[in-house]
């Protein structure tokens, strides 16, 4: 049997997760509606999105409302409020949203607004543009009724001040989850930085696909740096005829291969979601194996029939899935063991 991926029964009520059920896993197929989100904490977002999907709502609404849960979560150090700042101590947020018809909106390097996903949606729906950046994005948000807030929490300020002592920019592999295997072979979450970018994909009851991606980007990045997450085609891509994909990890490398678009194109050519994700990860590893060993990149994909798959460079990537019959968190197979 091929190396196994693992399904873990999510313990939805609590924040701690104590054990995994091991099952061989390739792609998961679910009857629509279905929602998937990156990382363990995606399950909390899914719960919110599910309220909309289960009431026959539109996937785009589910994506926006689900993403807002993570953006508002102060304990999440790489999304929205409480996200780690750049090296100048400024929290700059990136997000994008896309529907099945190619409608999309994005904000990049936007400060002071807690919900960039909602601003991205407004860019999509109320402007002739797709992307607004920096001050222009902030101005647009304020003009549309969003409140200006301080997003730098005391915890994140302290982390930045500690970082300044050495000022070394070293993205941490799986800062997102820090999963570790316990002596009894179960897994647990560990580390203090157990959160990251959230990418979300949804297929609603009417068969419409949408996706979103929101992040504060790499901790202690240069001021003005933008990663893959708000770049349509890199951090997110949706094609109503085929499927949708999203990415997490070192954004520069995801942009270089226009990762999410590549995953969708592989699905268009007949690969399953997991095979498509693996193909792009393989390409990243092949381009520079030494570099690939030191970083994490993960892709998550959902096709228009409700098949889901994912693949990552390193162990530790996971995603959460919610459908009428399943509520699970899945540990994803990786290139490096
Ligand atoms: C970025 N892709 O800004 C984001 C960060 C991320 O896991 O996803 N980290 O490059």
Residues 168-207 pLDDT 10s: 776 666 554 444 333 344 444 443 333 478 999 999 999 9
Strand, helix or coil for residue 108: strand
> 236 phi and psi, to 5 degrees?
-160, 140
Q: Which residues line ligand 1 (CB under 6 A)?
A: 176, 196-197, 215, 217-218, 227-229, 248-251
- 90-106 pLDDT, tens per residue? 999 999 999 999 999 99
**Confidence band of 123 (pLDDT split at 50, 70, 90):** very high
| Active-site entry in 197, 215, 246, 248 | 197
What pLDDT, on the 0 to 100 scale, is given for residue 75? 83
Strand, helix or coil for residue 212: strand
Sequence-ordered list of residues with C-beta below 8 angstroms from that of 313, at least 6 positions apart, any chain? 249, 281, 284, 285, 292, 295, 296, 297, 298, 334, 335, 336
The residue whose CB lies within 8 Å of the most ligand 1 atoms, and thus the one to mutate among 229, 246, 257, 316, is 229
Query: Mean pLDDT over residues 197-219, rounded?
Result: 96
- Round to whole Å and give the CA distance between 215 and 246: 12
Q: Which domains does the chain have, with CATH numbers?
A: 4-336 (3.60.20.30)
- Round to whole Å and give the CA distance between 62 and 302: 15
- Work out the mean pLDDT of the chain and round it to a whole number: 86
- The model's pTM is 0.88
Asked about 197 being catalytic, the answer comes back as yes
Strand partners, 318: 331
The percent of residues in the chain predicted with pLDDT above 70, rounded, is: 84
Q: Is it the case that residue 153 has pLDDT exceeding 70? A: yes
DSSP 90: -
From atom 9 of ligand 1, which residue's Cα is the shortest distance away? Answer: 249
- 5-38 pLDDT, tens per residue? 344 433 332 333 333 333 334 567 778 999 999 9
């Amino acid at each position: 049997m091929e190396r196994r991926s693992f399904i873990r029964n999510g313990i939805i009520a609590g924040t701690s997760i104590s054990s995994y059920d091991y099952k061989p896993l390739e792609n998961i197929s679910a009857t629509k509606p279905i929602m998937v989100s990156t990382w363990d904490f995606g399950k909390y977002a899914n719960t919110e999105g599910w309220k909309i999907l289960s009431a026959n709502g539109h996937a785009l609404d589910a994506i926006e409302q689900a993403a807002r849960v993570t953006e508002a979560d102060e304990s999440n150090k790489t999304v929205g409020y409480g996200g780690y700042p750049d090296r100048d101590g400024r929290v700059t947020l990136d997000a994008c949203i896309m529907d099945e018809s190619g409608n999309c909106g994005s904000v990049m390097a936007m400060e002071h607004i807690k919900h960039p996903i909602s601003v991205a949606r407004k860019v999509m729906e109320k402007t002739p543009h797709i992307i607004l950046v920096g001050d222009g994005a902030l101005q647009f948000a304020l003009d549309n009724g969003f409140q200006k807030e301080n997003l730098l929490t005391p915890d994140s300020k302290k982390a930045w001040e500690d970082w300044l002592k050495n000022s070394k920019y070293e993205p941490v592999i799986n800062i997102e989850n820090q999963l570790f295997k316990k002596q009894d072979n179960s897994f647990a979450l560990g580390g203090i930085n157990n959160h990251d970018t959230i990418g979300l994909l949804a297929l609603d009851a009417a068969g419409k696909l949408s996706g979103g991606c929101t992040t504060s980007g790499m901790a202690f990045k240069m001021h003005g740096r933008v990663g893959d997450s708000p770049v349509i085609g890199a951090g997110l891509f949706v094609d109503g005829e085929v499927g949708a994909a999203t990415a997490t990890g070192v954004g520069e490398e995801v942009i270089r291969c226009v990762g999410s678009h590549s995953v969708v194109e592989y699905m268009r050519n007949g690969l399953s979601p997991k095979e498509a994700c693996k193909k792009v990860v393989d390409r990243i590893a092949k381009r520079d194996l030494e570099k690939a060993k030191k970083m994490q990149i993960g892709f998550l994909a959902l096709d228009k029939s409700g098949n889901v798959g994912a693949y990552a460079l390193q162990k530790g990537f996971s995603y959460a899935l919610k459908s009428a019959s399943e509520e699970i968190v899945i540990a994803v197979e990786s290139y490096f063991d």
